[in-house]
Structure 1
Amino acid sequence: MTDPAPAATIPEVPKAPEVPAQSLDRITERIDDLARVIARQAATIERLADEAKLKIRDERAEADAPLIRDLFALHGLAQTFSSTSNSDADRPGFEAISRRVERMLTERGGQLVTPFRGAAFDPEVMEAAEICDTNDPDADRTVESVIQPGLTVGDRSIRPAKVVVRRYRRA
C-alpha cells in the first residue's frame, strides 16, 4: 500500500498594509482622469478615421468626375431612347441599360436627383424650368414633375434637376 500524502499546509496570507483613505481617493481620482483621457483619445481617433474615409471618398469622386459626367449623359440617352422607342421589344433593353448605368453612377459616388411629385423645391439641387399655377396654398413651391434628373457627387451639385414648380396664386 501507499502512504497517504502529508496534509498540505496553507501559508498565511500577509495582510495588506493599511492605506490611508486620502491616498485611495487620490488614486481613484487619478484613475478617473486617465479614463477620461482615454475616452477623449478614442473619440479623436474615431473622428480622424471618419475624416480620412471622407477625404478618400471625395478624392475618388474628384478623380471619377469625368467618368461620372459621361455616365450621367449615357443614362440620359438611355432614358430618352426608352421613352421614345417605337418598338416594345427595344424598350426593356433601354430600361435595363438605364438601370445599370444608374448603378454604376452610384458605385462611383454620383447620385441622381429625381425629386418626387409634391417634394419641396430645393434650389441647391433643382432648377425651376417651368412654373405652373396651383389653387392649393400647401402646394406652393413644390415639385409638379421632373423634366430632367439632376446629378450630385457628395455634397456638390453637378447638374441641377430640371423641374416644373407649382406656384400658389390667389384667385
Structure 2
Amino acid sequence: MTNNSTPRNPHHNRQIHPHHTQGGTHQERQDVERVTPEDSAREAASESPDAASVPPGGAEDAHDAIARLVAENVDLKDRLLRALADAENVRRRAERELNDMRQYAVTKFAGDMVNVADNLERAISSLPSELRGNAGPFKTFVAGVELTEKELLRSLEAHGVKKLDPTGSRFDPHLHEAMFQVQDPSVPSGTVTTVVQPGYTIGSRSLRPAKVGVAS
C-alpha cells in the first residue's frame, strides 16, 4: 500500500525567529557595554563586609579619648612630682630633727654645768685682789680654780655651749635679760653696760640669758 502523505520535514516543527534572536543579542550587548569599571568597584565595595563605613562620631570619640589620656598623664605626672617633693621634705625634716637632737641632747646637762662654772667664778672673785697677787698657797689655789673653770668652759664649747659676755653690744631680748637701766651718755641707748650674770648659748638657741644692765 502506497503512502501518499507528504514526507514530514524533520525541521518542520522548529520555529526560527531571526528578528527576535538578533534583537535580544543586541540588547544584551548593550547591557554589558553599559557596565563600567567604576560601577563594578562600587558594587564590590557595597557587597564587601570589610568595607563598613566609619560612624560619623568615630573621629570625635578618638579625639576625646586622646585628650582624656593626655589629661590623665598630666595628672599622674603632677602627683608624682608632689610625692617626690613630699618625700624630700620629710627627708630634710628628719635630718634636721636628727641634727637638733644630736646638738641639743646635752641641753639639760649643759644647764647644770653652767651653774658649776658660775660657782667657780664666784670662788675666784670672792678672794681679795691682794691675796690673789701674793705668792704662796693662795696664788696656787686661784690658779687651780681658774684652770678648772677654763677646762670646763672648753668642754662645754666642744658640745656647742658658749659663754656670752655682751658688754658693749646691743641689747638682744632673745639672749639678754635686762635687770636695770643706767644713764650713760657715752654709749647709745640700748647698749649693754653691765653684766650681772653671764649667759650661755647652745647651738643657735639661748641656754641661759645673760642678766645685764642697759643704757637708757
RMSD of aligned residue pairs (Cα, Å) = 2.3
CA shift for structure 1 position 55:
4.0
CA shift for structure 1 position 56:
3.9
Picking from 76, 79, 88, the partner of 2:118 is: 76
Picking from 172, 175, 180, the partner of 1:130 is: 180
CA contact (8 A) 1:79 1:98 kept: yes
CA shift for structure 1 position 57:
3.7
Q: So what's the TM-score if we normalise by structure 1? A: 0.60
Structure 1 stretches (4+) deviating beyond 4 angstroms? none
CA shift for structure 1 position 163:
1.0
* Greater Rg by CA: 2
Distance 2:153 2:190 in 1: 28
CA contact (8 A) 1:82 1:92 kept: no
Distance 2:212 2:170 in 1: 11
Greater strand share, structure number: 1
Greater helix share, structure number: 2
Distance 2:118 2:100 in 1: 24
CA contact (8 A) 2:169 2:191 kept: yes
Unmatched 5+ stretches in structure 1: 1-44
Picking from 138, 147, 158, the partner of 2:196 is: 147
Q: Higher relative contact order by CA 8 Å / sep ≥ 6: 1 or 2?
A: 1
SS at match of 1:134: coil
2:139 alignment partner in structure 1: 88
CA contact (8 A) 1:142 1:165 kept: yes
CA contact (8 A) 2:104 2:203 kept: no
Q: So what's the TM-score if we normalise by structure 2? A: 0.49
Picking from 154, 160, 166, the partner of 1:109 is: 160
Aligned pairs, number: 118
Unmatched 5+ stretches in structure 2: 1-87, 129-137
Is 1:97 aligned to residue 148 of structure 2? yes
SS at match of 2:139: coil
Letter paired with 2:191: T
Distance 1:61 1:156 in 2: 10
Percentage of pairs with the same residue: 28
